[in-house]
Structure 1
């Protein structure tokens, strides 16, 4: 078939045909297409359809083939053919065939930035079922030559590669074409059937959850081809392209597909070459199409993503990918079987000549060798390992993960060691564990080979010549001097490799594949090989957690990582992945701060006791903390959590006023004790009960100027919102009661970081005080300098509260909190009650809290919050103009929120998008999560040591994800 450009009928021309032939009266918009012309249309009843005008070169029987396939696969997920007024499936007008199909609702896979394991498995099963159904279908036109049939790719590429301008890309295509020639005898023997042939991210529709396929569109490439080609297309375009972990995602799809429609070993071994061929074909076709239509943005957008994926499909990864795909189908390569038998049945000697005692040294991310930031200090890390060695000897376990210096990179780092480190003194002799042939030395890597595999020894000095043959036990060389660029002391790293191209370290998501090619070399140290735990134990942890921890205690993310370490503004998982922590305001000064650790351990060695005893620690801290407050606020009550602090604040207010009613701001959360739960109205934390308020709880209209009752630029904005407080107070008085308190954050944290209109809080405070109530400033989330411009949020708003509550950021997450109030309120409480909290304000907690204040002052974290926080907000605000889905950016300094909407006009909250973005950000190494009543606001409240570089990384990653979602 020759290729013509897309039809170019005007909307008016198309509507004329639609009305005449189908009685459809409205065209909503054109739809993207590669060769045909498509429109979204609607009939008078409001039903939506797709008008498809075929390319002029498309024969009638080809379209009949598509129609028959659709009928054969008749299901909700398949578009239905809408017959014309005369009962025809298609009509011929103006030299083109016209068809109408029903419009399938759903979210296009290309706009979903996160592919969960559930979705990938569903994709595999769904398409496996498709292949199973089509295996029984036939049509006389199915054996047609079309460009997207993989059977045509090699010949078409001979011409298309000439349109590729980039030399690197062109050379890669030529290399893949050459490799494909060797596969032709094998591919001629595999199964054939009719396939869809175009299961791309643009042709698969998902349900609202993004976890399930609910529609397939565009059957224009249906043909008789290699059955395995269906899976090759699906894996490349719908699982791998655009994924941060393409091979891991492909693994999930293949595994699920195979369960439904079993593959043969021969098909699996051809899958990766077919994926490469498909990718090369797409790149070549795009280059050709753009030469004809340089302004075709649809093709250009696809071409960028497709080229990125193509460059990842290097020929070096063929053995890796094939091993991975075989494992997905519970099969093995012949080479893998041979090597395991060899290692099992061969008597192997230790490379040290005798069986030295080698204690296991933990170098995984949870290891103590990385404590106090040593993971960023190579020399210190090496010293820490040396301190654990016995007579200079030690070893790691096979396939351990390590911790590397963090870089702002949305991709995984290679942290899984595909071998074993054996530590020994410089100059220690190394001997051949088996018969080996020396190949060459590259840098510190000595390469040896056997009949079945390669052996790599890193970190040794040798004088061997090329092709030297060594008998078992013969001298190889000695342990080399320490490398100043390594975090490890002198050692030999031992690795076995079947492929000959395995890296020393691999990505965590690819470790399942590489471990097949790089078996455990423990026997080379005279140690019996044992099965090791997979580095990624998250699923096991989830199952264990589900058995013992109540499921109402939810955790972040659909596929949570197993965290083992925190440092500064970073959290580290067991696989060595370092995440930028952008939500942990509780770790106020940063994770694992040495001053906090030192303060805690020193005090634990001396005294930690009941708060009813007399000791200086809590007095010293109270005197210091109160200097940060106005003169009227000079009495402190120690508590352990923010919930306890707010609970006590309510008791103080009620004791002082002899009233019970409380004003709160709608959508706010103040803790989880019974008392504060009864006044919290945040849907996210209590979805079924939070809006069913008690008679004494009176929510005020949330003063949100983006989506609230009164929006920005409304005259007298503060007065309008504050009037609600006055109305509620008048209502309370009309019931014969008075007001006890108004409690509010000075920046609405649970509302997503919403800053209230200027003067609003002043006016509400005035109304409350005039009514005899007290004002409580909840500083649990936003205090201690997080506002940048002020140490406390209430100072920023220019108000003077009667009671202030503080939370665990006070102790950097350690359980210490407080209530600060006036002497009058404290005395009124004392007349009625005593207060006792066993370990509130204990010596250890107070020493930690003191250390937190030291760090805030010494490291100028309040100033950092102002500079970095304001910069971050300005950068986030740029996204409002760039993307339809970014409605507003809330907050101040280091407490921000990004409000996501379906569109700016309606301002409808988009909670699904917020969840998808959070998952996608996590995949790219950044931790944020939704908040707010609708779960649509991305909360950003990082440790105070957050930097401008971190801010740039966060915004650029978010921009990339949003761009893909709105393409």
Structure 2
């Protein structure tokens, strides 16, 4: 038999055995509360709910014999303190005895201390059903309690308990109780890691009195999964502040089907109130592992040494805890640590945050009329996965931002950028592996005839260079674009971006054509004839003596309103262009990098093989990097005439970001994911459309979705005012989308590719709310 460590002796003490009749007598004669008593469980204590009447209830706690007066006073004073500092926190209040004390003792063959508290409403939850929003709120409540206890001091706060993570090393003598050899070996590895990484720095962490057991077992929620109660202050002690977060994270992770995402949600909620320091952030995953270790080893020891002292509650879920610990090690604790650390950075910015109205004023002074999204702009200070966070800690579902194609603050991309930035930043006139590897990777995804890559910094630069290539290769100067196209901000491509043309402006060298709309969609029933329009546009440019240099198109005609094209018509149109001596440019700045799901590039689903491809926006997941992909004979015309070099185009840091994005798309099988989630989103939207006359139709490919908003489905009259109202209504409900189309009446949804079906449900729920108000 293993000698019982001092820390574990409270766990070996026989809990009280008061019956409900005795509990009711104590409540009445010691506290003056007459009512029925119902036992409600407890690990070391006995707890009874005392119902005085329908609206008045209390909790009677018969304390373990291991508790002394000092620990009772610590807990009582802590509750008083929290109620003074943050009275909105849903904690119980101590109820005095008839003689004014906050505890008394009873003698029933053994002496027990007894206390009474106000009853807090709610019920424990399993955790598996909690979404990110609820977990975020849970994390913020954990932080609020820690903040409320920040200034609390008590002479008995050095109460030593086994759940204080500083004592993890003292569990080593118990490892022999872990009879499963794989679990024991795992425990030894985690313990060794703790002693090497955590123990030397533990005492340097922020210390204060904390709850130290804010698991889901001790947090009550209502039917809407809002926190309504915090219970069981029996593990209060003075230790590392971050331990409260660790207990919450570990509790959620072993119960949730997506443990890392669930942990990230809790962490983001916590840091919205209390940002973590670097030391806490760096040790977070090891502390979570230590908590799981302490739980598993302690239960194993109790089962072997004191089976009569352990109940179902104490051992419930411990197998899940071991399984989680094994999973974390298999995934790599350092990798998991990066994920948790990234979530904790949502409050970590290198500059002071300004109050929003002041920021807007200062912005307009120095940036002028630079546009902002939404009538009420969003002041974003952080992001994670598909979420953005504002300066008040509120979370927004980002269903619009295709720049962060593999998710905000993607750790793999961030690590690639940081690692290369610390090593070398230069340009392509020195030899370096990064641009070569990236060019090879890109060409491997393209049709065989495309064999050259030119690196630049933005989508606008890419389309500008593509236009220069087309003119140089053909000797012509005429351009053809769709009627509401957008291709960039340089002088040359702004003239080919009809959506931003001033009124009555129409460059002589640019012709516009209607998109070749797939027959499934309403617009295909119009009298337009895209192939005929293309022929007439080509003839017009020829008559002017300009000729046709290129037809540039976005593969989904996004700015026109998101129209997946009719492949046959588009093919005939590009044939006409080539017959007239022009080139075909596929602008993949918005539709590339897997947006369409079936392929990496949007043009691939049209069966068109372009002469030039431009890529940008999502290429670096927020890092400025773009490229032009073309044929060697086309590229040589520009090289031969004037050469080509971009100082920052193809620099190693940008290439590292772009390579990491390609890795993420491949490793996470995002093309398959986008197809599945995109189809789910389309079907869900079509079901919603059946309930609303405002929705004309849903147009979709992968995770690029357009919802045409019309005044009614008979007239099909565009409804731009209602469209704007929907976009801003969603923003007020913390969901971000945009709008598009010639009449600005198309809801534009293009979330990061890691969007999940649960995010779709969240979006649809909010969209239904907004539409019902129109």
* Residues 550 and 585, structure 2, Cα contact 8 Å, conserved in 1: yes
Local SS of the residue matching 2:153? coil
**Which residue of the partner structure matches residue 767 of structure 2?**
958
| Matches of 1:573 and 1:877, distance apart in 2 | 31
**Which residue of the partner structure matches residue 682 of structure 2?**
873
The partner residue of 1:643 within 445, 460, 473 is: 460
Mapping of residues 625-774 of structure 1, within 5 Å: 625-682=442-499, 686=500, 688-689=502-503, 692-704=505-517, 711-712=523-524, 720-774=529-583
Local SS of the residue matching 1:951? helix
**Which residue of the partner structure matches residue 603 of structure 2?**
794
The partner residue of 1:539 within 334, 338, 357 is: 357
The partner residue of 2:391 within 574, 577, 580 is: 574
| Matches of 2:562 and 2:197, distance apart in 1 | 42
Mapping of residues 490-529 of structure 1, within 5 Å: none
Cα 1:384–1:670 change in 2 (3 A) is farther
| Matches of 1:570 and 1:736, distance apart in 2 | 52
Mapping of residues 847-926 of structure 1, within 5 Å: 847-926=656-735
- Structure 1: which 5+ runs fail to align? 1-173, 176-315, 317-347, 357-379, 397-408, 416-440, 447-458, 462-476, 490-506, 512-533
* Residues 537 and 562, structure 1, Cα contact 8 Å, conserved in 2: no
The partner residue of 2:584 within 775, 793, 807 is: 775
Q: Could you tell me how far 1:909 is from its partner in structure 2? A: 1.6
Q: Could you tell me how far 1:442 is from its partner in structure 2? A: 6.7
* Residues 753 and 890, structure 1, Cα contact 8 Å, conserved in 2: yes
* Residues 588 and 602, structure 2, Cα contact 8 Å, conserved in 1: yes
Cα 1:727–1:812 change in 2 (3 A) is same
**Which residue of the partner structure matches residue 377 of structure 2?**
560
* Residues 404 and 621, structure 2, Cα contact 8 Å, conserved in 1: yes
Cα 1:393–1:386 change in 2 (3 A) is farther
Local SS of the residue matching 2:570? helix
* Residues 647 and 676, structure 1, Cα contact 8 Å, conserved in 2: yes
Local SS of the residue matching 1:486? helix
| Matches of 1:547 and 1:556, distance apart in 2 | 18
Cα 1:386–1:777 change in 2 (3 A) is farther
Local SS of the residue matching 2:586? strand
Local SS of the residue matching 1:561? coil
| Matches of 1:806 and 1:480, distance apart in 2 | 47
Q: Could you tell me how far 1:538 is from its partner in structure 2? A: 2.3
**Which residue of the partner structure matches residue 549 of structure 1?**
367
| Matches of 1:769 and 1:936, distance apart in 2 | 34
**Which residue of the partner structure matches residue 351 of structure 1?**
153
Cα 1:548–1:444 change in 2 (3 A) is farther
* Residues 589 and 856, structure 1, Cα contact 8 Å, conserved in 2: yes
Cα 1:922–1:855 change in 2 (3 A) is same
**Which residue of the partner structure matches residue 811 of structure 1?**
620
| Matches of 1:946 and 1:774, distance apart in 2 | 36
| Matches of 1:737 and 1:922, distance apart in 2 | 46
| Matches of 1:737 and 1:704, distance apart in 2 | 28
* Residues 208 and 241, structure 2, Cα contact 8 Å, conserved in 1: no
Cα 1:479–1:731 change in 2 (3 A) is closer
* Residues 583 and 943, structure 1, Cα contact 8 Å, conserved in 2: yes
* Residues 385 and 488, structure 1, Cα contact 8 Å, conserved in 2: no
Q: Could you tell me how far 1:806 is from its partner in structure 2? A: 0.4
**Which residue of the partner structure matches residue 231 of structure 2?**
443
CA offsets per residue over residues 484-519 of structure 1, 9 Å max, x none?
643599xxxxxxxxxxxxxxxxx99xx9xxxxxxxx
Local SS of the residue matching 2:479? strand
Q: Which moved more, 1:765-774 or 1:781-790?
A: 781-790
* Residues 784 and 810, structure 1, Cα contact 8 Å, conserved in 2: yes
* Residues 707 and 907, structure 1, Cα contact 8 Å, conserved in 2: no
Local SS of the residue matching 2:535? helix
| Matches of 1:620 and 1:804, distance apart in 2 | 18
Local SS of the residue matching 1:611? coil
Local SS of the residue matching 1:754? coil
Cα 1:855–1:391 change in 2 (3 A) is closer
Cα 1:829–1:755 change in 2 (3 A) is same
Q: Could you tell me how far 1:756 is from its partner in structure 2? A: 1.8
CA offsets per residue over residues 104-143 of structure 1, 9 Å max, x none?
xxxxxxxxxxxxxxxxxxxxxxxxxxxxxxxxxxxxxxxx
CA offsets per residue over residues 870-897 of structure 1, 9 Å max, x none?
2111221223322111112123111111
Return the TM-score normalized by structure 2: 0.57
CA offsets per residue over residues 827-871 of structure 1, 9 Å max, x none?
222221211210100001111111111110000011111111121
| Matches of 2:394 and 2:377, distance apart in 1 | 12
**Which residue of the partner structure matches residue 236 of structure 2?**
460
RMSD across aligned positions (CA): 3.9
Cα 1:480–1:754 change in 2 (3 A) is closer
* Residues 460 and 479, structure 1, Cα contact 8 Å, conserved in 2: no
Local SS of the residue matching 1:952? helix
Q: Could you tell me how far 1:445 is from its partner in structure 2? A: 5.6
* Residues 567 and 607, structure 2, Cα contact 8 Å, conserved in 1: no
| Matches of 1:385 and 1:910, distance apart in 2 | 60
Q: Could you tell me how far 1:546 is from its partner in structure 2? A: 2.0
Local SS of the residue matching 2:524? coil
**Which residue of the partner structure matches residue 282 of structure 1?**
none
| Matches of 2:446 and 2:230, distance apart in 1 | 64
Q: Could you tell me how far 1:652 is from its partner in structure 2? A: 0.1
Q: Could you tell me how far 1:786 is from its partner in structure 2? A: 1.4
Cα 1:738–1:564 change in 2 (3 A) is same
The partner residue of 1:486 within 219, 223, 248 is: 248
* Residues 708 and 745, structure 2, Cα contact 8 Å, conserved in 1: yes
| Matches of 1:395 and 1:890, distance apart in 2 | 56
Q: Could you tell me how far 1:687 is from its partner in structure 2? A: 5.9
* Residues 444 and 460, structure 1, Cα contact 8 Å, conserved in 2: no
Q: Could you tell me how far 1:797 is from its partner in structure 2? A: 0.4
Cα 1:862–1:481 change in 2 (3 A) is closer
The partner residue of 1:393 within 206, 210, 215 is: 206
| Matches of 1:937 and 1:618, distance apart in 2 | 38
Q: Could you tell me how far 1:443 is from its partner in structure 2? A: 1.8
Cα 1:584–1:385 change in 2 (3 A) is farther
Q: How many residues align structurally?
A: 484
| Matches of 1:854 and 1:389, distance apart in 2 | 36
**Which residue of the partner structure matches residue 18 of structure 2?**
none
CA offsets per residue over residues 627-680 of structure 1, 9 Å max, x none?
001111001100110000000000000001111000000101000111110110
Q: Could you tell me how far 1:574 is from its partner in structure 2? A: 2.5
* Residues 206 and 241, structure 2, Cα contact 8 Å, conserved in 1: no
- Structure 2: which 5+ runs fail to align? 1-53, 56-120, 122-149, 159-192, 210-221, 252-268, 274-351
* Residues 569 and 591, structure 1, Cα contact 8 Å, conserved in 2: yes
| Matches of 1:727 and 1:541, distance apart in 2 | 51
Q: Could you tell me how far 1:705 is from its partner in structure 2? A: 6.6
| Matches of 1:386 and 1:776, distance apart in 2 | 60
* Residues 208 and 240, structure 2, Cα contact 8 Å, conserved in 1: no
